[in-house]
């Protein structure tokens, strides 16, 4: 039997790399979408995964998506590509709407144009940021959306258009409503990686303090390696559906800093090491996220393996080891 083929947009990102690792282990032929004229991360991802094939396309460029889908004819498509940072989405809302919001619509239309809507399955990376100013605690698949950023609004559009195409054209479209997930591959712009990297630098005597915008928001933080397993499981079901993927635990940014200081063997004194800088604050904040992943547990048999303390420790240790090298 020939190998199954998976196309991943956003292959150079955190989840793209975890998912590539998982799918190669499962003996898929994995094809990653690279965007941009000169993409430094393409070389890094190619070096990390020599069996990964790369193709050029952009979620903002319809004809490039049609060409790639036409030549790859993937069994499974994982749409992870996005402007994914809430902070940037406030500075470039139109770009965010175009890539994060309209990008998935372009992919769906490319599938229909090529007659792939009955043969290819697609995963859409939906986000807990759609819940924003939360209407319900904990959040489930049926909690109404109230996004608080251009990113959240773009993801809400993408999610709804996926549901609409599933209902209209009977396509296999699964949306994973993933809560924040982190790890050693997380981008440095996100708060967890900023903390783990800064605390590692302090532990190694490379800096004394670092600045954050606020210590109060609460997030349900899980490990990216666990979350990409859920993506794959969603595309192996008999019917497409939406699933919340979360740990069910929530912690403040302050608690993340405390756990990171403890993991590095430093005094757990947040005020000594962290200053508050308004430049890292957002025009509107998401104060609390906590997910209920009961449906994923029951239908997919999915459970997170890595819990909060272990996640923070893993990130701090990884940054210390990297900085020492």
Among the candidate windows 14-22, 26-34, 118-126, 278-286, which touches ligand GDP by CB under 6 A?
A: 278-286
Q: How far apart are CA 255 and CA 258, in angstroms?
A: 5
Token pair listed for 296: 């994923």
Q: How far apart are CA 167 and CA 262, in angstroms?
A: 49
Tell me the backbone φ, ψ of residue 283, rounded to 5 degrees: -60, -30
Among the candidate windows 118-126, 156-164, 167-175, 183-191, which touches ligand GDP by CB under 6 A?
A: 183-191
Residue from 180, 196, 197, 318 touching ligand GDP (CB under 6 A): that is 180
Residue 87 or residue 248: which is nearer to ligand GDP going by CB?
87
Q: Which helix (H) or strand (E) holds 142?
A: none
Residue ranges binding ligand NDP (CB under 6 A) = 9-16, 33, 35-36, 39, 41, 58-60, 80-84, 99, 125, 127, 178, 180-181, 187
Residue 151: CB minimum distance to ligand GDP, A: 7
Residue 69 or residue 212: which is nearer to ligand GDP going by CB?
212
150 alpha carbon, distance to own chain's centre: 16
Residue from 19, 253, 296, 306 touching ligand GDP (CB under 6 A): that is 253
β partners of residue 124 = 79, 175
Residue 212 in the binding site for ligand GDP (CB under 6 A): yes
35 binds, among ligand NDP, ligand GDP, none (CB under 5 to 8 A by kind): ligand NDP
Q: How far apart are CA 287 and CA 129, in angstroms?
A: 11
β partners of residue 173 = 122
> Do the Cβ atoms of 154 and 100 come closer than 8 Å?
yes
Radius of gyration of the CA atoms of the chain, in A = 19
End-to-end CA distance of the chain: 43
Residue 219 in the binding site for ligand GDP (CB under 6 A): yes
38 alpha carbon, distance to own chain's centre: 23
Residue 236: CB minimum distance to ligand GDP, A: 27
Residue 103 or residue 217: which is nearer to ligand GDP going by CB?
217
Residue 285 in the binding site for ligand GDP (CB under 6 A): yes
Binding site for ligand GDP (CB under 6 A): 86-87, 129, 180, 189-192, 194, 212-214, 217, 219, 253, 280, 282, 285-286
């Amino acid at each position: 039997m020939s190998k199954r083929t998976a196309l991943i947009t956003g292959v150079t990102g955190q989840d793209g790399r975890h998912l590539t690792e998982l799918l190669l282990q499962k003996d898929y032929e994995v094809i990653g979408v690279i965007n941009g004229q000169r993409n430094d991360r393409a070389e890094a991802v190619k070096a990390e995964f020599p069996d990964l094939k790369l193709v050029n396309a952009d979620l903002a460029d319809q004809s490039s998506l049609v060409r790639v889908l036409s030549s790859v004819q993937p069994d499974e498509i994982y749409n992870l590509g996005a402007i994914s940072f809430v902070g940037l989405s406030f500075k470039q809302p139109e770009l965010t709407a175009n890539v994060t919001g309209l990008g998935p619509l372009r992919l769906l239309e490319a599938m229909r144009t090529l007659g792939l809507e009955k043969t290819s399955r697609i995963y859409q990376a939906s986000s807990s940021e759609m819940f924003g100013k939360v209407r319900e605690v904990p959040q489930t698949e049926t909690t109404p959306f109230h996004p608080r950023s251009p990113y959240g609004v773009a993801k809400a559009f993408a999610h709804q258009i996926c549901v609409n195409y599933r209902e209209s054209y009977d396509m296999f479209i699964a949306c994973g409503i993933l809560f924040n997930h982190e790890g050693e591959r997380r981008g440095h712009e996100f708060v967890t990686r900023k903390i783990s990297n800064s605390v590692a630098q302090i532990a190694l005597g490379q800096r004394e303090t670092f600045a954050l915008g606020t210590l109060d928001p609460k997030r349900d933080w899980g490990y990216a390696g666990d979350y990409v397993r859920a993506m794959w499981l969603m595309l192996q079901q008999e019917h497409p559906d939406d699933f919340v993927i979360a740990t069910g635990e929530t912690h403040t940014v302050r608690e993340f800093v405390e756990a990171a200081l403890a993991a590095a063997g430093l005094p757990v004194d947040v005020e000594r090491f962290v200053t508050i800088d308004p430049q890292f604050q957002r025009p509107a904040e998401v104060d609390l996220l906590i997910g209920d992943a009961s449906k994923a547990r029951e239908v997919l048999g999915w459970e997170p393996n890595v819990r909060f303390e272990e996640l923070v420790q893993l990130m701090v240790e990884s940054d210390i080891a990297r900085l020492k090298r």
